Amino acid sequence: MVNAAILGFGVVGSGVAEVLTGQGDGVRKKADELIALKYILDVRQFPDSPFASCFVQDFSVIEQDPEVGVVIETIGGVGAALDFTERALKAGKSVVTSNKELVATHGPRLLQLAAEHGAVYLFEASVGGGIPILRPLSDCMAANEILEICGILNGTANYIFTRMVQDGIPFDQALKGAQANGYAEQDPTADVEGQDTCRKLCILSSIAFGWHLRPDQVPTRGITRITLADEAYAAACDRRIKLLGRAIAQPDGKVCAYVEPHFVSLQDPLAGVEDVFNAITVKGNATGDVMFYGRGAGKLPTASAVVADVIAAARQLERASYRPWAPNRPECIASLDELDSQWYVRLAKGELEGERLTIPQAQPGESGWLTPAMTRPQLEAKLAGREVLAVIRVLD
């Protein structure tokens, strides 16, 4: 029997408590023979919670309790979460987390710290919510050279697009729905400006390519300026708008990684991914495309992934760990400016070379275009001096 402590009793932390103890609706009691929930750390009081007797407010109680074998960090961010993770690992306790910001930024050091202290640092829930992706990528695809990762990695953004298209509601109203469902981050800026997707892409890339790709090295664009008109132009050319994280291995060994909204053809399975679902296509040199699909956010899907890691940590400490990530390789990062793509452009007036798109609700003078393939600098040169309302890359 391994004793566990949860840090943070928010959406994910409370879901983990329910799944661990079998108290949630529809949750099978699977972990309770192996794991006992001993502590929950939170600055708030929860006197009416079924877990009221577990609450503590001082992390040193957990740190100094030799009975605690696994610490579950669901605080988020890189402040207290980093401090407590380091202290837990130094005390020889394994740490399981859903905290993508912490893993993407400090992953290599924390993996190293875990190895030095006979513990493991596991973070399956940090990417794709309930989708098993990190362990399959790390273990089951280990024989492959990874050629490309391309994924819908943020449930909030995908939920917003789905509500805009299916219900015809504007961006802000759709975001409120994502917040009400517990999908969005406390500050949803990270969801809608692409940083959350960027962090998840960095974790996937670091596992796939074996060296640490940092979030500040990944050009990132969000979705806040996308309108119902852009969705209508996408529909007019049999496409959907999706926020994608992509990491493409180049023939010279460099990696081109970026996050942007894209026009995605209806023939691509990514176009059919709706609501809070995420999907990640991984192209291996031996496997070809492998696709992972499931609920990318939400209390119980995320808690499911966390608890699976807790069970793995409790069962087989050494075999559960990820391979260490080599240090960052700035010389291996390819410039996004060299990537050729077609582009969707919406102009307030005038014409452009390419296929003209028409929608019934277009404003007077406005037009939508699909350009021939070119790099972004080439496109920007063509658009200089024009009144441009929107530019979105087309996924090839």
The residues binding ligand HSE (CB under 6 A) are 129, 154-156, 183-185, 191, 196, 296-297
C-alpha span between 102 and 81 (Å, rounded): 8
Tell me 26's DSSP state.
Answer: T
Query: Which burial class, exposed, middle or buried, applies to 340 when counting CB atoms under 10 A from its CB (0-12, 13-18, 19+)?
Result: exposed
Per-position DSSP letters for 130-178, written without gaps between them: TS--HHIIIIITTTSPEEEEEEE--HHHHHHHHHHHHH---HHHHHHHH
Give the nearest distance from C-beta 124 to ligand HSE in angstroms: 12
Give 187 or 318: the residue with its C-beta nearer to ligand HSE.
187
Dmax (CA) of the chain: 71
Using DSSP bridges, classify how beta strands 355-357 and 146-152 pair: parallel, antiparallel or unpaired: unpaired
Give 239 or 299: the residue with its C-beta nearer to ligand HSE.
299
The yes-or-no answer on residue 200 being catalytic is: yes
User: Per DSSP, what are the bridge partners of residue 295?
Assistant: 277
Give 174 or 184: the residue with its C-beta nearer to ligand HSE.
184
293 to 132, 137, 290: CA distances (angstroms)? 9, 13, 10
Give the nearest distance from C-beta 9 to ligand HSE in angstroms: 17
User: Per DSSP, what are the bridge partners of residue 36?
Assistant: 3
Secondary structure (3-state) at 128? coil
Give 309 or 376: the residue with its C-beta nearer to ligand HSE.
309
Give 119 or 124: the residue with its C-beta nearer to ligand HSE.
124
C-alpha span between 260 and 267 (Å, rounded): 20
Give the nearest distance from C-beta 2 to ligand HSE in angstroms: 26
Give the nearest distance from C-beta 157 to ligand HSE in angstroms: 7
The catalytically annotated residue of 38, 200, 242, 299 is 200
Give the nearest distance from C-beta 55 to ligand HSE in angstroms: 24
* Active centre residues (catalytic): 200
